A and B are shown apart, each in its own frame.
Chain A
Amino acid sequence: MEQAISDPLIDATGAGRLGGRAIAGKGHAGWTRASHWIVAVSVVTLAFTGFVILMAHPRLYWGAVGNDLTPALIELPISRNYRHGGWVPDPPFSAQAGSPASAIRTYDILNYNGWGRSLHFLAAWFLVVTGAVYLVAGIVTGHFRRHLVPRAGELKPRLIREDLVGHLHLRIQPARGGPPYGLLQKAAYCGVVFVALPMMILTGLAMAPAITAGYPWLASMFGGSQSARTIHFCFFALLVLFIVVHVLMVVLSGFRAQMRAMIFGK
């Protein structure tokens, strides 16, 4: 892994020559390092507890409501609760065929939501507070403008194609320990910071009965609380994909150099 730092393109100060012009590695500011690790721990905790919560009811729906007696959009085979039986029909509410019904569940489901959900929300508090500080700092310090948002000149089809082909051939640039970032790298970070994590928080709030009582548009903008739950799951899957690729890129570009940069700065 030391090769990454003694790469002929990069000198000991992190300055180097890439793509034919000199690029100085800027390192990570203290506040980006702190927020990176708080958010990292929060997101991993949220992903794990979110999965635990999903195991209790591994069915996803579209609309305002959905349950075992209504059709599912997606059924996930992720716990013994998947397509479990043990339903005894209740006397019907109405004699009309096809009218809403009730059934008694006799099956003992797997459910760790007591600690699962409380830990989920504890981690969510860390994410929301850190995320809010990060967003303000990112704007005030110019971090977003200078390092994250792609410049107009970068968005040329040729450059996008080159970066894409390079990544697909696993030609990963050696560790620079911080900005400047590549084009796809910027797109991935912007997607997580400005789209995926805000969507996770909004769809999470849209599932809460007290919050949607106060702000019903939160649920209706997603087509109902169960739709919000489904979207919440989809962004969870995208974020897990991001984490896998992110860690892979860290490893391929020089794990020790990148970790050192994200922990100590340079």
Chain B
Amino acid sequence: MKKETLITTRRAVLSGLASCGGLLAGGCSKTLPPTYGNVLRMGDLLTYKAHRLLLPVHSLAKEYEHGDISSIPAIGNTNPADPRQPTFNADRGAIYQRVRDSGFADWRLSIEGRVARPGAYSLAELKRFPSRTQITKHTCEEGWSAIAEWTGVPLRRVLEAAGMLPSARFVQFYAFDDSAEGLDMLDALHPQTILAYGMNGRDLPISHGAPVRLRVERQLGYKSVKFLRRIVVTDEFDDLGKIGSLQNGWAWYVGI
């Protein structure tokens, strides 16, 4: 009797492990983040797939009251034109300095890739889209968090205006510094995923990503790319090379 229980448990564990293996084997295709044979990335992939399988798809991150707004540190790159900053890029830093001097009148956000109507949007054009204001919590991977009010255009509106193709599966976001991040369509089309140009009732400050940053409310803070300059829609997963989080040893999906 006892022996049988043991065999059943062992069999259950083995079949469980086998199904995990099947889950991870999917990492070879280009519709999922790659693991590079790295066991840490395999764990990240398992977490990503478990979140997508188990969590409610349409849930909204909690939105707070105006009185809940807290102080908020500005970290990482806080000015792409400053050569002393981390992830500084000389060419784009100079461009950033120029558009900043124009009060961001010369700033354009380029939408490219798998869209029917690629193009570049000025700040004024983005502000003509219906806006969304949300008071949400920013959870930094370091361990701290803060509540702020963000105003911007839902990314979904912009992608629809650009005519996103039905085969599209991922959206990549490039900044003025050497940083970039990608989202799957579930997070990209989420109603709280916005291109934010306002913070706490004012224009987005330089230190927090002026003129426009991404807000991804169901992932850690580093997915909310600051200083946006270019959005690329793709059919396949793109690890973004040396400026992406994956090749720098950080998880791509951080709904955590």
Q: A213 to B60, Cβ gap below 8 A?
A: yes
| Residues of A close to B142: CB separation below 8 A | 56-57, 109, 111, 113
Measured CB to CB, the closest approach of chain B to A129, in angstroms, equals 7
A101 to B72, CA, bound (A): 6
Known: A113-B142, A121-B44. A207 touches B256 (CB 8 A): yes
Query: Quick check: is B29 within 8 A (CB to CB) of the other chain?
Result: no
Chain A positions within 8 Å of B69 at CB level: 100
Tell whether A209 pairs with B202 under 8 Å between CB atoms, given A65-B146, A67-B72.
no
- B2, B61, B64: the one contacting A213 at CB < 8 Å is B61
B-contacting residues, A94-140, CB 8 Å: 94, 100-105, 109, 111, 113-115, 117-119, 121-122, 125, 129, 133, 137, 140
What's the Cα separation between A191 and B44 when bound, in Å?
30
Q: A67-B72, A70-B70, A105-B74 are in contact. Are A125 and B46 (CB under 8 A)?
A: yes
Chain B nearest CB, measured from A94 CB (Å): 8
Docked complex Cα distance between A175 and B91 (Å): 70
B131 at the interface (CB under 8 A from A): no
Sorting the interface of chain A by its residue count into under 10, 10 to 19, 20 to 34 or 35 or more gives 35 or more
Asked if residues B141 and A117 are in contact (CB atoms below 8 Å), the reply is: yes
Residues A203-254 near B (CB distance < 8 A) = 207-214, 216, 219, 225-226, 229
Distance in angstroms from A203 CB to nearest chain B CB is 13
25 pairs from A and B in contact (CB 8 Å cutoff): A30-B6, A68-B73, A69-B73, A90-B205, A103-B73, A104-B75, A104-B207, A105-B75, A109-B142, A113-B141, A121-B44, A122-B40, A125-B43, A125-B47, A207-B256, A208-B255, A209-B137, A209-B255, A209-B256, A212-B62, A213-B59, A213-B60, A213-B61, A213-B62, A229-B143
* Given A105-B73, A121-B256: 6 more A-B contacts, CB < 8 Å: A65-B147, A93-B201, A94-B201, A118-B44, A125-B47, A212-B62
